[in-house]
Amino acid sequence: MCTTMNDLTIIEPRICELVRELTDAPATGGVADALRPVMSEVIDQAVASSQGGKRLRALLSLDAFDALTASHHDTGSSAHTAMLDLACAIEVFQTAALVHDDIIDESDLRRGKPSAHRALEHTVHNASIGRGLGLMLGDILATACIEIARRAARHLNNGDAIIESFLTMQREVEIGQVLDLGVEMTPLSDPQALAAASLNVFRWKTASYTTIAPLLFALLAAGVEPAKAQQQALAVGEPLGLAFQLADDLLDVIGSSRNTGKPVGGDIREGKRTVLLADALSAADASDQQELRDMFEAAHRDEQQVKRAIELFGKTGAIDRSRERISTLWKQSQTAITDLELNESLDESGKRRLTEACARFIPIDLR
């Protein structure tokens, strides 16, 4: 009996345990007494920063693995235990990426608490040392997640391909961050290019580790040959990951009953160059286009402007266009699941289970 809730109950303390072990100094040498306090503060912050995630990525990987191995499924098996750790590794990687993302964006908050570097600045009463510790904390977590994946992969099929895929995932997200910074420098004068660039960033920065890699790890661990596993993880995961990010951006504008943890219009306030903005610029008449450009080329936007931008996103049809994009991508992902031809385990019920796991990424009214 392995339910999603059961997995969640196991994942949280396991992430904490792994992070605490792998952010501390190895046993081959001690830490000097005078330096123990700073080490403890970094370890505690590593654990604090690791908490509060929705674990969507870990659950996708675990559910996909269960769907793919239904016929010989055993919760207590070494393979299931290893998959749980591999799922934790994805989550620890996300934390590592967010810690650096918050430094780059100079964000004060993450998941409603102080971001890691801000918390450390506060703890050590020194902004520059605190920020340095935050940067190193991101590095330590990025190394830790690979070690977690390496240990897990030894007990899974295609172990070497899993480590290779994990490193590729990490590289893709890092490149996605570079491209995301590039988008900030993309002129608003060519909305088509901006939309293409934004979707390209979603492929690398979001779909990579949110959907493609979790599915790929499950396929590899289930014994699917690496080239085929990669092709099928991309077929299902790429449209799903793009739809997830588009939905996230859309909910930021139209709001949601689901608590996204962000105030409505936050992306607009920050001047983020989104697909929504690109679609609005593409469809706007000359006067609305100019208004949007002036607004987003300015250093700041006030509440009145945020409201006006949302109005223009609606008026130009950009919101409807995003709904269309999400629904099309979701259907594409579903078709890819239907077309999966893998092994005897993935029967109709297995595919249904996989579809349900994927559906968690897209609110029901946007599918």
Q: Backbone phi, then psi, for 233, in 5-degree steps?
A: -65, -40
Question: Measured from the CB of residue 74, what is the shortest distance to a second copy in angstroms?
Answer: 25
Query: 109 - beta bridge partners?
Result: 114
Q: Which is nearer to a second copy, 56 or 212 (CB)?
A: 212
Question: Measured from the CB of residue 288, what is the shortest distance to a second copy in angstroms?
Answer: 23
Question: Measured from the CB of residue 111, what is the shortest distance to a second copy in angstroms?
Answer: 21
- The residue among 106, 81, 69, 92 whose CA lies nearest residue 22 is 92
Query: 113 - beta bridge partners?
Result: 110
Q: Which is nearer to a second copy, 190 or 291 (CB)?
A: 190
The CA distance from 166 to 144, in Å, is: 12
Q: Which is nearer to a second copy, 128 or 304 (CB)?
A: 128
Question: Measured from the CB of residue 38, what is the shortest distance to a second copy in angstroms?
Answer: 3
* DSSP string for residues in 257-278: SS--SS-TTHHHHHT---HHHH
Q: Are 73 and 3 in contact (CB under 8 A)?
A: no
Torsion of CA 324, 172, 59, 46, to 10 degrees: -130
Q: Which is nearer to a second copy, 218 or 242 (CB)?
A: 242
Q: Which is nearer to a second copy, 22 or 224 (CB)?
A: 22
The CA distance from 17 to 22, in Å, is: 9
Query: 110 - beta bridge partners?
Result: 113
Tell me which amino acid residue 328 is: T
Q: Which is nearer to a second copy, 62 or 145 (CB)?
A: 145
Q: Which is nearer to a second copy, 269 or 353 (CB)?
A: 269
**How deeply is 13 buried, as exposed, middle or buried, from its count of CB atoms within 10 A (0-12, 13-18, 19+)?**
exposed
Question: Measured from the CB of residue 104, what is the shortest distance to a second copy in angstroms?
Answer: 4
Question: Measured from the CB of residue 230, what is the shortest distance to a second copy in angstroms?
Answer: 7
- The residue among 212, 205, 210 whose CA lies nearest residue 55 is 210
Question: Measured from the CB of residue 265, what is the shortest distance to a second copy in angstroms?
Answer: 22
